[in-house]
Chain A
């Protein structure tokens, strides 16, 4: 049976992984397994930018993915970038196997606000679903409430929900068909 592998980077809280795992499993309909934490590769670190190259981390993830895992998503506390952009919330192989989500800019504290664990966890779920959606071939959605809508700021992350819009749900169900799922079943509960 195919599953989605969730790989934490250094210092990612186990409780957060449970929340993300439940959300992914519930929304996408595939079981989730949390793998052993990994160390972000030192060669991916850019000392000038003080950020990690997401492309370099994705390269490592491709090697790490277990054969039987349908997809692998890594969750990192590190701030990540691609050369053109000052930061990104996450990156995925479009219609590929691996994705990466950064938690660095999802906390209220990053924006000088008091901590809010609930908001933080919700943001982490949205971004994980978003990047996973890309691995299933979904592109950005014009529905601002859909988890697949483009977010280039934290406000846009907060505007969208942790669910796929009806159109993206159908597209995702088609892609999931090959994993023995005819539809994404929001009501289904599967423990990670």
Chain B
């Protein structure tokens, strides 16, 4: 592996510089040389080196220690070995204190320098191997930017591959922050519509009339302020994919309009009389339980079935805790780059804390928590203390809970059982485990409250 590494020798004395470089080249390394601190800094800016040998005394300009400090500002991880002919304890201490990997006194025994180089290269090889393994692992669990090794998520990835090139509508259900739009984008990107537009709209963000105009567009003069014809999202997404987020929040009128588009593949612009034909794949998403809304008469059953041709349910993060470490490492790398911070790792304790936390806001909350922790972190490794706000948040959730005044204990118990069964897809054994009661007790209560499973 040594042939992959480059070494830099920095010394103002040509014989010294070139003879050491030649000796290292015989060992198979690619060796660059620099005659001054300034030249060394230029080289380090342009190239990555496994080791930098820097002579302590380098007149004029910047000396060895200053060169080392500048080098490590550019590449924090670059091992610098300070070379000096003046073996004083003071300079050795200064060099090590300022971050030198080693300090050698010339002339040194060939074995000493050979072992030193071997040790540093072995460390660099391990670092590189570690990085490659991590990248490979991440790749293995990455599907169009979605990172997961959870079996349910793997099934979703499989489903996406199967349905990507179909025109069928997809309904994505999942709590806020689980990455519903990322799943929609993955479906779009893995199908044959990838070259066509992906248009997203959040149905919850707009008032009914505005949403209607946003979706279907409007003719000139359709309403006050409609000074020209405007294309709606359906028209803009023609040939591609339209992602309707928070579909559970749309009004009955819009539900009817949407059903018509899905059935007829055509619609009228607001204030228009001409029918517009479109070829759009609709992917809808909601954090609400649409089936429950259908039961409650708040959502049209026919629209539900029209949307729910392919059903994707994203598990919340607390049900795929094995993904937390993978996501954490991914976010640390990305956020460190964005913030320009040298934070490269996270402590075991902090990872444990993040795995144990319930993440009501799911992956989005995890991402935000990491950003918040990294902004305040002064070390290179994130520690549990950087996430103290999460501990406070969890405690607040406990304290802040107040039972709804209008509900009896029995009603609360029924709701708790219903919610848990929904979470376990009707699995009684798993629900009983979560609720901390026997399976037979849970069966009794299901019967008592007349709860329908699944």
Residues in chain A within 8 A of chain B (CB atoms): 49, 53-55, 81-88, 91-94, 134, 139-140, 150, 152-153
11 contacts between A and B (CB under 8 A): A54-B19, A82-B23, A84-B113, A86-B108, A88-B110, A94-B22, A94-B26, A139-B25, A139-B26, A152-B111, A152-B114
Contact with A along B271-298 (1 / 0, CB 8 A): 0000000000000000000000000000
Q: Is there contact, CB below 8 Å, between B27 and A84?
A: no
With contacts A82-B20, A84-B16 known, is A153 near B27, CB below 8 A? no
Q: Is there contact, CB below 8 Å, between A87 and B110?
A: yes
Cα–Cα, bound, A34→B13 (Å): 35
Cα–Cα, bound, A88→B16 (Å): 14
> Least Cβ distance of A79 to chain B in Å?
12
Q: Is there contact, CB below 8 Å, between A139 and B19?
A: no
Complex contacts, A140 vs chain B, CB 8 Å: 26-28
> What 7 A-B pairs are tightest by C-beta distance, nearest first?
A82-B19, A139-B28, A152-B110, A152-B111, A83-B16, A84-B20, A86-B107
Contact with A along B103-138 (1 / 0, CB 8 A): 000111111011000000000000000000000000
Complex contacts, A94 vs chain B, CB 8 Å: 22, 25-26
> Least Cβ distance of B50 to chain A in Å?
16
With contacts A139-B27, A140-B27 known, is A85 near B22, CB below 8 A? no
A49's nearest neighbour on chain B, judged by CB, is B107
**Which of A55, A84, A92, A152 has a CB less than 8 Å from the CB of B83?**
A84
Q: Is there contact, CB below 8 Å, between A150 and B20?
A: no
Residues in chain B within 8 A of chain A (CB atoms): 3, 13, 15-16, 18-20, 22-23, 25-28, 83, 106-111, 113-114
Cα–Cα, bound, A82→B107 (Å): 8
- Majority SS at the chain B contact face: helix
Name 17 extra pairs, CB < 8 A, besides A85-B23, A86-B110: A53-B15, A55-B15, A55-B19, A82-B20, A82-B23, A83-B19, A84-B19, A84-B23, A84-B106, A84-B108, A85-B106, A86-B107, A134-B26, A139-B3, A139-B26, A150-B27, A150-B114
Complex contacts, A83 vs chain B, CB 8 Å: 13, 15-16, 19-20, 106-107
B55's nearest neighbour on chain A, judged by CB, is A84
Complex contacts, A93 vs chain B, CB 8 Å: 22
Q: Is there contact, CB below 8 Å, between B109 and A152?
A: yes
With contacts A55-B19, A150-B114 known, is A81 near B26, CB below 8 A? no
> Least Cβ distance of B149 to chain A in Å?
37
Complex contacts, B108 vs chain A, CB 8 Å: 84-86
B114's nearest neighbour on chain A, judged by CB, is A152
Complex contacts, B114 vs chain A, CB 8 Å: 150, 152
> Least Cβ distance of B361 to chain A in Å?
53
Cα–Cα, bound, A92→B25 (Å): 11
